[in-house]
Amino acid sequence: MYTSFLNFVNEEIVSCYNVQIFRKENQVKEIPNPIKLKETDEVTNEAVTTTLRRAISFYSSIQAHDGHWPAESAGPLFFLPPLVIALYVTGAMNEILTRAHQLEIKRYIYNHQNEDGGWGLHIEGHSTMFGSVLSYITLRLLGEEADSCAEDKAVVKGRKWILDHGGAVGIPSWGKFWLTVLGVYEWSGCNPMPPEFWLLPNCFPIHPGKMLCYCRLVYMPMSYLYGKRFVGRITGLVNALRQEMYTDAYQDINWNIARNTCAKEDLYYPHPLVQDMVWAILHNVAEPILACWPFSKLREKALKVAMEHVHYEDQSSRYLCIGSVEKVLCLIATWVEDPNGDAYKRHLARLPDYFWVAEDGMKMQSFGSQMWDAAFAVQAIMSSNLTEEFGPTLKKAHDFVKSSQVRDNPPGDFSKMYRHTSKGAWTFSIQDHGWQVSDCTAEGLKVALLYSQMSQELVGEKLEIEHLYDAVNVILSLQSENGGFPAWEQQRAYSWLEKFNPTEFFEDVMIEREYVECTSSALQGLALFKKFHPGHRINEIEHCISRALKYIHDTQNPDGSWYGCWGICYTYGTWFAVDALVACGMNYDNSPALQKACEFLLSKQLSDGGWGESYLSSANKEYTNLDGNRSNLVQTSWALISLIKAGQAKIDLTPIKRGIRLLINSQTDEGDFPQQEITGVFMKNCTLNYSSYRNIFPIWALGEYHRNVHCA
């Protein structure tokens, strides 16, 4: 019934069917035969340019008509189950998910079950209670029986893993929430999420408006559902699940103890004592008081305010929401408020925006990386000196970049709703999303500026200068006091607030903070803007660049690396930092920081000439090779781009040649590159697959080599 794909790293993410559709639309020409080099063969200009042409030709062939590249942005195993739970609770399961959808969801879950029977936080992770319980419940809600023999009794093995590890009481707090909404857990076993927090004065240090946008937007609908004590209809299946997932009888579970119970397999960020003390006071003192009149009136007011924020987020993001986790939470909150309301119906209409079907089944995207991927793809192709050959591809991408810029601020008094200015920004995905991101805006600005220097006959009309100014305004507005750049908004809270991080499996989720990647992108974008438009806000831009450069220097590790927060990990962070230093005119000869960066990267090169860094580097904050010292082509490309730009080629070209040879030899017959380990990460402990990276970054590395070595 199902086809197993046990080795995800060999999976081709873009389906053959979609490739053929795009290739027909894009009228792909014949490409040269692939090049294969022996260890003793010279890396010739012909070998590099042939591989480049084949790679760009293939990637152009899968470009969508609007100019972006459809690609997977998934990997966490907790994205999809809440949607299935929500649709089950609201009764919209079969309306939204056809039999084919449901089959593909089950196939995806089966394909990513670990050998021990459990499921991880993400598809490459060890088994966790969070991943296992949510995956098990999803299969059951989609019709699989508890004793099903499908996939070699995968459901039975999943339940055994859950019970062998203490049962569902050990699921982390987000899991407790969803189980409670479904009816297979109790609100008394959840730590409080009082909506009254939304009524606190803005000056209060733990006001939700001061939190990281992702944090406040997730707990916003959660607090509404908690305040309502909402529980779905208790069906026969729900009663069965109550009996299947616990080691004790459901009626005998001590829910007060369960509040702070978390399986050791899930515990990445243990709660500090002070946090558990606060939860105990809220649970045992505050909640009973708020349930009594007249204090219950306060709860009614808080619930109304929380839903005002839910509706504002829905409307300002055209019902996409900031991401898939919040999307499903807002969907069910609007249904609880009004099952027949327009808000709920509009949420349902935008669910397909999150769906992605691949060879391993159907999954739910984070929210898409269309603009992010397009900005990198354009720069990769431009690096090759082959732009004249791929004018149609670049023109379509240019149209997408221009149409993706956000042209307005959030509606109404957006500062009252704790939103930042967004006019002129680029989002991570599409314009509808509406959420400004510092590095996406900077990368969008960079490519718009690069396009402005090219022939309009080749790439189309350039972006109006006023829109460039708007992008600069957004970037300048986001810099922190220490010179670094956060992702979405200015930092609004103190670092001690992280002690109240309620998630057990993430770190650094409570407040906005600075990132080397965002700082680098902002610095590069502003430096390029200053070069082409030296008269606009020059003093502010120069001051901003100077402070950002200091942040880059200050955050370099003693071994020469930088920690990357959105990609894995030290290789990723170092690439961004090197690009920033080079954008400020530094090179190997005049920059000790670049020299140290090169030394770090060279020390991690593997025997086959590549680089391969595990997601464990992000979680453990220590560089860790992939199992078996395997190379990863994306990370190899990041390292090669860094070494080439830093000037290592003038010192010793040999290690760069070895890496380039690996890229050339790894190309497939079609001009593609193989899908390997995931290279994206977030919140330190969870991976995210950017499937376009496997095309973009080998092109970029080969392009930089072609331009800076062969054509220099």
* Number of Cα atoms under 13 Å in the Cβ half of residue 163: 15
Read off the tokens for 248: 């004790």
Q: Which DSSP category does 285 fall into?
A: I
CB crowding 56-69: b at 16 or more within 10 Å, else e: bbbbbbbbbeebbb
Sign of CA dihedral 548, 554, 558, 562: negative
In angstroms, the Cα distances linking 336 to 303, 313, 617, 712 are: 12, 17, 41, 64
Three-state SS letters, 190-219: CCCCCHHHHHCCCCCCCCHHHCCHHHHHHH
Distance CA 595, CA 592 (A): 5
CB 84 within 8 A of CB 138: yes
Distance CA 504, CA 20 (A): 43
Nearest to 136 by CA among 112, 119, 111: 119
In angstroms, the Cα distances linking 51 to 45, 54, 176, 378 are: 10, 5, 50, 17
Beta-carbon contacts of residue 110 (< 8 Å; ≥ 6 apart): 2, 4, 150, 151, 154, 361
CB 589 within 8 A of CB 602: no
Three-state SS for 338?
coil
Q: Where are the alpha helices (H) located in 91-210, listed in sequence order?
A: 93-96, 99-111, 129-141, 150-164, 173-182
Q: What angle do CA 675, 677, 683 make, to 5 degrees?
A: 130
Provide the β-strand partners of residue 357: 362
Distance CA 553, CA 562 (A): 10
Three-state SS for 356?
strand
Q: Of 373, 439, 470, 579, which is the active-site residue?
A: 439
CB crowding 204-239: b at 16 or more within 10 Å, else e: eeebbbbbbbbbbbbbbbbbbbbbbebbbeeeebbe
Name the one residue in this structure whose structure tokens are 């400020």.
584
Distance CA 401, CA 390 (A): 17
Distance CA 214, CA 233 (A): 29
* Dihedral angle of Cα 13, 704, 28, 403, to the nearest 10 degrees: 80
CB 538 within 8 A of CB 605: no
Q: How many residues appear in the chain?
A: 712
* Number of Cα atoms under 13 Å in the Cβ half of residue 445: 34
Read off the tokens for 3: 């086809």
Q: Is the peptide bond before 294 cis (omega within 30 degrees of 0)?
A: yes
Three-state SS for 74?
strand
Name the phi and psi angles at 77, rounded to 5: -95, 5
Distance CA 170, CA 258 (A): 7
Neighbours of 172 (CB within 10 A): 25
CB 406 within 8 A of CB 104: no
439 catalytic, yes or no? yes
| DSSP-assigned letters across all residues of 236-267 | HHHHHHHHHS-SS-GGG--HHHHTT---TTT-
Residues that are catalytic: 439
